[in-house]
Amino acid sequence: MSQSFSQSLGQYLRMEQKLTPQLIQSMSILQLNTLALEGRVAEEMEKNFALEIVEPVGKERETEALPDLEAKGESDADSFKRLDRLTREYGNDDSFSGVFQGRRPATDSQDRDAKIDAMANAASRPESLAEHLLIQWGVVEVDEDVRRAGEAIIYNLENDGYLRLRLEEVADTIKPPLDMPVLEEALRRVQHLDPVGVAARDYGECLLLQLEALPGDNRIEKEIVKKHLPDLVRNRFPAIAKATGYSIGEITEAVRAMQSTLYLHPGLTVIDVEVPRITPDVIIEYSDAGGGLDVRLTRGSTPRLRVSKSALDMLKDKESTKEVREFVRNHVESASALMDAIKFRRERLLAVAERIVELQSDFFEIGAEGSEGLKDERSG
């Protein structure tokens, strides 16, 4: 029995579909609602120093845009808000809304029992940050002046845990007055309460308080927070590496560790927060010129992004090392891919909305009856 093998050249026609990473990202972005998209953009801006938001001007300011920090010239501490752009939600300031205003006598025992049952089944008012801290402060061994100063500090904390008043302003609320050294001592003691990082006066102090409480060697993290916070905010890892002597890999690992263990707003870890309101992607309204409906996207559904000039300059800098140029190039390509994905989403979202209005104009003009008419027309 013999066997033979042969080779031949030939042309074959076949259809094949391949999903590139860019297309996968575009499809992922397309499915996001406005709130989720803003969160995705904030997340990308935290990781990609080459990405920045274009500040809207004039009539384009339909909704509040994310700040262009360098353009506004904000302080280094304020600029750190970018690290928590979408992850921060505001707490409920109306802490005593659940307290009833008055009482009426019960008519009989059955009515009284029903009210008692209703009160027992009602959700209790959530514990406020001040209440959470005062319970701990009550068992701390300090003298009476420090105790009064600590209580004043706790009552002046915001829901996210920060003390945004100067100690001199806090001192004005205390009667009889106390000396500044007493308030400084009270502040140090309050900053050791749970949650760790509470009563910090800025983002840097908040992170350092948490790093001090962590076990192990945190020298890289502490140096980055103390001396290179502005660069950290903008993800300028090459600048940090040049100033500290650490490699980009070591800095990336340190930042990843901080992101997984530290909180920018420690107060929000112990109190309930409000659910943010839903923002629409598309607005449909009667045309000012008459004769139909206008379809437009809301400002929040189309964030305008660009590649930062500093990243492009670093990419062109011939004095940069190969590692730095490769780092910058990857971030520029990632930023461009995200911008293309958002453009794709904007175009498809508007096209779909316009088509829906075209096919179901009677629904928008009349209501559900118009929708039923469209069904009858199609079935006929």
What's phi and psi for 102, nearest 5 deg? Answer: -170, 175
Measured from the Cβ of residue 37, the count of other Cβ atoms closer than 10 Å reads 22
224, 255 in Cβ contact below 8 A? yes
Rounded-to-integer distance, Cα 171 and Cα 238, Å = 43
pLDDT by residue (tens digit) across 223-260? 999 999 888 888 888 989 999 999 989 999 999 999 88
47: Cβ contacts below 8 Å, ≥ 6 apart: 235
Which residue, chain included where needed, has tokens 């027309």?
Answer: 377
pTM of the predicted model, to two decimals? 0.49
Count of CA atoms in the C-beta half-sphere (13 A) of 1: 0
pLDDT by residue (tens digit) across 317-329? 877 788 888 888 8
Q: What integer is the mean pLDDT of 23-49?
A: 78
DSSP per-residue letters across 239-299: HHHHHH---HHHHHHHHHHHHHH--S-GGGGTS-BPPPPP--SEEEEE-TTSSSEEEEE-G
Q: Indicate the DSSP class of residue 143.
A: -
pLDDT by residue (tens digit) across 186-217? 999 999 999 999 999 999 999 999 999 998 88
pLDDT by residue (tens digit) across 291-345? 778 888 876 556 678 888 888 888 788 777 888 888 888 888 888 888 888 888 8
Among 37, 57, 46, 49, which residue's Cα sits nearest to residue 344? 37
Q: Indicate the DSSP class of residue 363.
A: H
User: Token pair of 232, please?
Assistant: 């950290």
157, 267 in Cβ contact below 8 A? yes
